[in-house]
Amino acid sequence: MHKISTYIYTFKQGIINIGKNKMFSLASVATMAACIFLFGIFYSIVGNFKNIVKDAEEKVAITVFFDEELTEGDIKEIGERISKRSEVKKMIYVSPEQAWEDYKEKYFEGNEALSAGFEEDNPLANSANYQIYLNDVSKQASLVKYINQQDGVRQINKSDVVANTLSDFNKLLGYISAAIIIVLLLVAVFLISNTIMVGINVRKDEIAIMKLIGATDFLVREPFIIEGVLIGLVGSLIPIGILYFMYGRIISYIMEHFIFLNSIMKFLPANQIFKTLTPVALILGVGLGFLGSRITIRKHLDV
> What pLDDT is attached to residue 139?
83
> What pLDDT is attached to residue 93?
86
> What pLDDT is attached to residue 121?
58
The C-alpha torsion from 265 through 266 and 270 to 272, rounded to 10°, is -130
Instruction: Give the integer Cα–Cα distance in Å for 154 and 78.
Output: 12
SS3 of 15, please? helix
Q: Could you read off the pLDDT tens digit of each residue along the chain, which spans 303 residues?
A: 456 766 676 777 777 767 766 776 777 788 778 888 888 888 888 888 878 777 777 777 888 888 888 888 888 888 888 888 888 888 888 887 777 676 666 655 655 555 555 555 565 667 788 888 888 888 888 888 898 888 888 888 887 777 777 778 778 877 887 887 788 777 767 766 676 676 666 666 666 666 677 666 676 777 778 878 888 888 889 999 999 888 888 888 877 777 766 666 678 888 888 888 899 889 888 887 787 777 777 765 655
> What pLDDT is attached to residue 98?
77
Instruction: Give the integer Cα–Cα distance in Å for 196 and 291.
Output: 11
Instruction: Give the integer Cα–Cα distance in Å for 284 and 275.
Output: 15
> What pLDDT is attached to residue 202?
63
Phi, psi angle pair for 296, to nearest 5°: -70, -40
Taken in order of first residue, the domains within the chain and their CATH numbers are 4-56+165-300 (no CATH), 61-158 (3.30.70.3040)
Q: Are 86 and 140 in contact (CB under 8 A)?
A: no
Largest CA distance in the chain: 105
Q: Are 90 and 133 in contact (CB under 8 A)?
A: yes
> What pLDDT is attached to residue 135?
83
The 10 Å CB-count burial string (b at 16+, else e) for 140-164 is: beebbeebeeeeebeebebeeeebe
pTM: 0.63
Q: Give Cβ neighbours of residue 206 (< 8 Å, ≥ 6 apart).
A: none
